[in-house]
Structures are given as C-alpha cells and as structure tokens.
Structure 1
Amino acid sequence: MNHVIAKIKGKEKTYEKLFSGDSIFELPSDLDNAVEYNPEIILEEYEWYKIENFSVTPYVIDLLRHNFNTTDYGEAKKVKKEKIEYIVSVQDDIFFFQRIFKHNILVEKLISIGDVVRLDQGNKYLVVNPLPDAVYLKRDDVLYFRKLSTISPIFKGIDELYREATEEEIDRFLQNDFIELKDCYGVENIKKSNRKRIAMAMEALDSFSKKDKQKILKYTHEYYPTLTYDEKNKVFTIGSEEEMKHLLWGIEQRYYTTPVTNEKRVANSVIQLP
C-alpha cells in the first residue's frame, strides 16, 4: 500500500496522512549512475548524488529510522498550504520527498457560463513535480538527491557537506604568506562561492607539505599568469573576487592541458578516478 504524508509546521505530531492508495512518483531509472556526494562534482542532466549508509549519518530523520506504520499518522482534515513544509510518498520501502514552495500550490479559477454566469474560485491543488527532490531506498540505505540546498531543510545539518568557510577561517586563509591583498580587498568582500572554495582549499593546504605548496604556487602561476605573482618571494597579489577564484582553482589543481590539442583548460567539476 502506498501512502502520502505531509510534514506540518507547528504541530505536536508533525506528520499528517494526506491519502493512501495511489503512488505519485516513479523510481528514477538513472539512479544506478549516481555519484557519491562531493561538492567538487557538478551533475550532468539526469544525474543524481547519493549518500550511502544514510541511516548512520547525523542527518537521518526519525521517519527513516523506524519501520513505517500508517497508524502512527492522523488523517489530515484541513491543511493550510502555508503549513506544509514537504510531502513524503511512501511506496513500499521507498521514500520520495518533495519540498513544497509557493509555486507548488495551484488555485483554479473557473467562469461558469450556464444559466447563471459567475466566477468559481475553485479548489486549491498541490502540484507534484515530475521528479522528487530526494529518494531514500530503505533496503539499500541510500539517499539520492540532486540539489543539496533543496533538501537541507528536510535533513537538518546536511548542508555541512558543502559548507562555507567562517570569517575566522577566511581571515586565517588570507594570512597565508603566499597571499598579499590590494585595493582594500578583504574578508568582507568574499562572497558565497569563494567562501565555499576557501573551505575546500584550506583542507587541501593542510594536507600539503611545504614542498607541495611551492609546487602548487608555481603550477597556478604557469596556468594563470594573469594573476600578479612575485616569483622571488612566491606571493600572489589578490584584489578581487575573480582573482581569488583563480587562485583557489590553482590550489584545488583544477587547471589541466589537453593531450592532443595542447589547450589549457580549467575543470568546472572534478571526479576522482579509482
């Protein structure tokens, strides 16, 4: 039997059953090609991320910890649309999640043209997306999803998988002796995308030896000579978000040369090969 429940804001019992019987999602056919979540990987169309052994992560919710029993959930008699955070379609041992936004609520307005012409405000409908935001296969203990930002409100804390560097961490990163700032560029100028790159770059730098760091600086300069670089003192001068981005790409070793055409390129997404 299939059941659809809704996560309700502000209720003591946070889930209510909407209906039973019909399934509203189909299992995507391309989950076999899912890749383990890594913020350096940008998905192609129809690809999915996955997190294996999800039940032992700190992000798993109580709904997935226990066997699903429909008697645990009361029937939804009247649900206000603004109170629904997300819906879950439980189809056998597969859980499909969909966040509910304003655009998911549809109000049909109809004009009656019978004996009496009048405007019928119609009913409110909850629009089901073609694809769920997340799929949990209980038998395999794997969570599949496409956008971390979409599922973060469902699985609390999961956004730490792609976290931004804190101001303290950014300040510490800028204190590296291979960075010199100019044009009043500093912590307060660094935007979200570079904050995330800095978090990853700091992890990379911590794993490098002193010799490795020197190699990275040389490699970055050779691939992106537009960045001002003092070869004697081995210092990059950074004064904008664009310059910071290119420095961080170097630390992440995203630059490469094609073997046949000898073109220099930067990898927008990185998957580590076995």
Structure 2
Amino acid sequence: FERLTEFTEFQSTDYPGIKWLITQQGECYYFQKVLPSSRIEHRTILMFVVGDPKIKEMSNSVEVRREFPDIIYDSHDDRLLFRDLSRAKEIYKDLINLYREATDEEITDFLSSREDTTISISINKIGIRNRKEIARLADKINTLSSEATATLVTYIDAHLTEAGLHKGEDGKIIIATPKDLSSYLALLDQRFVLSEVYSERRKITAFTKA
C-alpha cells in the first residue's frame, strides 16, 4: 500500500483513471470498486445546509458507499473479507487459486503422474474439495527440486499410517475411496506434524501462507 494517493493529491484529469477507492481505518483497509454507476458526471443536486439549501453542479466525482465496501483487508489478523470473488481477485491475483477446481483433464494428468499410488476411483467420484486441492497442489509439486521431491517421498512413508493409508503388495499406496484421496493429498501438502512441546501427532486442517 506504499503507493496509495491521498485525496488532496488528485487532479480532475485523474478522474477517468480512478478504479478503486481505498481507505484505512486502524489496521483495516476498505476497498470500493469504482463502477460506472458510482461515477457522478454532469449532475445537479440539491444540498441541504442548515438555513441555506444550495443547488450544486457536480462532475468528475465518485459516490463513496461507506457501508458497503467490496473488500476489507485486516492487516493485523491477515484476513481478507469480500462479497464478490470476481472483484477481490482483481487486487489479489492468486486468490482464484484457492477456489479453482481442477478439470477432469488436470485430474487425470495429476493422478497419472503419481507413480507411488494405485488409484481405483473414477474421476466422477472426486468431489469439489479434492478437485480444489489438486488444482492448488499441482503447481506447488511441479516446482519442487529433485532433493525436495525425495524429502517429500520420505515424509509420505513416515506419515502413511497417520493418514490411514497403506501400501499394496506392489509397494504402491492404495487409493480406493475419495477419503483415501483426501488423506493422500494431505500427505502431499505435509499436513501431518509432530508438536515439539507435547510430542503429539496432529493434522493441520487450516493454514495461511506467511
């Protein structure tokens, strides 16, 4: 937000280029998309001032809807609240990756690339959550170095029992149900951890990237 411009720095010539209004209140930033309907051009309004109503010509103005922000970003808790994904992703480009579902072709490519598994479930049995996880994980895994890939293989073997999975006689992990697939995807995302203080084995169910 270093490049935010104060209202006092705007010139009338800047008006056509205004796309978003951003205000800061405490540690929260409020975003409003400037739509054609919120632009005020060549409009006459009656202003009621105490004891002196006035007629004013307005142009090159934007209506600010304080009670209906499109996006709220809480910098303290690092949380994003929004009403419309299409608007939110204009500012946070990677946001769509949290919601995008993998296509059937992407699922086929992803599963066929996992040589450590034997998968017997059909694509039409793979639900929305697993489709989103595959879409999110595919890009991450493709960027791993050979050393990181080897580390991930070791991790999977170490936490296989915790995930409720097992290997067949051919040494491959058996994926026979959507639940098996969910557990396997959790392994690929390294969601099984050992707490340092309590020495308890836990599964991470939600996280945010630093």
State the TM-score bracket (shorter-chain normalisation): 0.5 to 0.7
Deviation at 1:215, TM superposition (A): 2.6
SS at match of 2:118: strand
1:156/1:197 CA distance change after superposition, 3 Å: closer
Tell me how far apart the structure 1 counterparts of residues 167 and 126 of structure 2 sit (CA, whole Å).
20
Q: Give the 5 Å matches for 1:110-259.
A: 132=69, 134-135=71-72, 145-147=80-82, 150-154=83-87, 160-162=96-98, 163-176=100-113, 177-182=115-120, 185-225=121-161, 226-230=164-168, 233=171, 235-259=172-196
Structure scoring higher RCO (CA < 8 A, sep ≥ 6) equals 1
1:71/1:152 CA distance change after superposition, 3 Å: same
> Does the Cα contact within 8 Å between 1:96 and 1:133 map onto a contact in 2?
no
Tell me how far apart the structure 1 counterparts of residues 149 and 180 of structure 2 sit (CA, whole Å).
19
Corresponding position of 2:64:
90
Deviation per CA, 1:215-272: give whole Å up to 9, x if none: 3233123223121225974x21101121111111111112211001111111122234
Give 2:35's match in structure 1, choosing from 63, 85, 89: 63
Tell me how far apart the structure 1 counterparts of residues 138 and 86 of structure 2 sit (CA, whole Å).
27
| Structure with the higher helix share, 1 or 2 | 2
Query: TM-score by structure 1 length?
Result: 0.47
Deviation per CA, 1:5-56: give whole Å up to 9, x if none: xxxxxxxxxxxxxxxxxxxxx9775527xxxxxxxxxxxxxxxxx9xxx9xx
Corresponding position of 1:122:
none
Give the partner amino acid of 1:70: I
1:71/1:211 CA distance change after superposition, 3 Å: same
Tell me how far apart the structure 2 counterparts of residues 171 and 74 of structure 1 sit (CA, whole Å).
60
Tell me how far apart the structure 1 counterparts of residues 85 and 197 of structure 2 sit (CA, whole Å).
42
Deviation at 1:186, TM superposition (A): 2.1
| Structure with the higher strand share, 1 or 2 | 1
SS at match of 1:200: helix
**Within the alignment, does 1:31 sit opposite 2:28 as a pair?**
yes
Tell me how far apart the structure 2 counterparts of residues 74 and 195 of structure 1 sit (CA, whole Å).
53
Structure 1: state its 5+ residue gaps.
1-25, 33-49, 55-59, 76-87, 98-131, 137-143
1:69/1:228 CA distance change after superposition, 3 Å: same
Equivalences, count? 159
RMSD: 3.9
> Does the Cα contact within 8 Å between 1:229 and 1:236 map onto a contact in 2?
yes
1:156/1:256 CA distance change after superposition, 3 Å: closer
1:161/1:181 CA distance change after superposition, 3 Å: closer
Structure 2: state its 5+ residue gaps.
1-22, 46-61, 74-78
> Does the Cα contact within 8 Å between 1:256 and 1:266 map onto a contact in 2?
yes
Tell me how far apart the structure 1 counterparts of residues 44 and 86 of structure 2 sit (CA, whole Å).
23
Give the partner amino acid of 1:63: L
> Does the Cα contact within 8 Å between 1:181 and 1:237 map onto a contact in 2?
yes
Deviation per CA, 1:75-113: give whole Å up to 9, x if none: 9xxxxxxxxxxxx9715xxx664xxxxxxxxxxxxxxxx
Fraction of identical pairs, as percent: 22
Give the partner amino acid of 1:245: S
> Does the Cα contact within 8 Å between 2:70 and 2:87 map onto a contact in 1?
no
Query: TM-score by structure 2 length?
Result: 0.59
